[in-house]
Structure 1
Amino acid sequence: MPISDETKRAVREQAKYLCEYCHSSERLSASRFTIDHITPKSLSGSDDLENLALACRRCNERRYNFVASIDPESQATVPIFNPRLQKWDEHFTWVDQGMLIKGMTAVGRATCVRLDLNDTRYPEKDSIRETRRFWTKTGFHSP
């Protein structure tokens, strides 16, 4: 059974129309963001509101069905960021004038790696950093 429009609306409003991982704005996107299952359905996750998050397509695709990643600092496997149980600004901060997201905790660092929040895997391509730079210049991105 698909997620109801009412539930999708509640997820969007709860997220303030921001991707709950990279904080990109759905209102600046050419396409609607996806409703992400924090615990994926493939791992018995539910469609309950507390298991749903708003995610841009790039974060959703990189997250896939992963629930953990490796913290590059400690090399420990840790859960990735859970927007229903954790606060974004306790795990992440903006650096380089809002162009980069830096993980401040093991969860934040592991999530940055798993979701490649700064497009470090393919730096030669147009990246989210260039998009953030444009948003900043136009006044739409002020972390």
Structure 2
Amino acid sequence: MTKPTIPSELRRQVSEDARARCGYCHTSARTIGEPMVIDHLVPTARGGLTVRENLWLACRRCNEFKGTLVEAADPQTGMMVPLFNPRTQSWSVHFTWSPSGTEIIGLTASGRATVIALRLNNPEIVAARTLWVQVGWHPPKE
């Protein structure tokens, strides 16, 4: 199956909706130094459509870890729950930053499951965030 082509105007709208940052880790393209990708919230492999309501920005790392996932286990309960949906849910309801500003803490079942499934605190990104905090680029302002 080939990936659907996303028209440039739709890409622009999604980028504007997402404020040019990843919907999952909230990192901006400017901070990571590479363009964001368009994420299908419900992947096309699971029947998701290439429409604005099903698209959001993601960094390559989050997009690759998400893959075709739409749900994951909450590490506290073991129950399968939907992943965080950046288009319809508020980031600050489901996540917060650690006191150091380098790790994302899941506040809800979906938030916790998303942190684990998308590896939002993998060692490489935590190391990068540590440097970003030192120069005042992180954590992002709401």
TM tier relative to shorter chain: over 0.9
Q: Distance in 1 between the 2:18 and 2:133 partners?
A: 20
Q: Deviations over 1:80-134 (max 9, x none)?
A: 0011111000000001321100000000000001001000xxx4xxx11111111
Partner of 1:141: 138
Say whether 1:87 aligns with 2:90: yes
Taking structure 1 as the reference length, the TM-score comes to 0.92
Deviations 1:23-71 (A, max 9, x none): 1111122321110000000111011101001000000000000000000
Q: Across the two proteins, how many residue pairs are aligned to each other?
A: 137
Retained in 1: the 8 A contact 2:102–2:139? no
Alignment-mate amino acid for residue 59 of structure 2: C
CA distance in 2, matches of 1:113, 1:142: 19
The residue identity in structure 2 corresponding to 1:136 is V
User: Aligned partners of 1:94 and 1:142: how far apart in 2?
Assistant: 7
- What is the correspondence of 1:45-124 to structure 2 with a 5 Å cutoff? 45-119=48-122, 123=123
Gaps of 5+ in 1: none
Partner secondary structure for residue 8 of structure 1 = helix
TM-score, with length taken from structure 2: 0.92
Identity of aligned residues (%): 45
Over the aligned positions, Cα root-mean-square deviation in angstroms equals 1.1
Alignment of 1:4 with 2:1, yes or no, is no
Equivalent-residue separation in structure 2 for 1:142 and 1:111 (angstroms): 18
Ranges in structure 2 where 5+ consecutive residues have no aligned partner: none
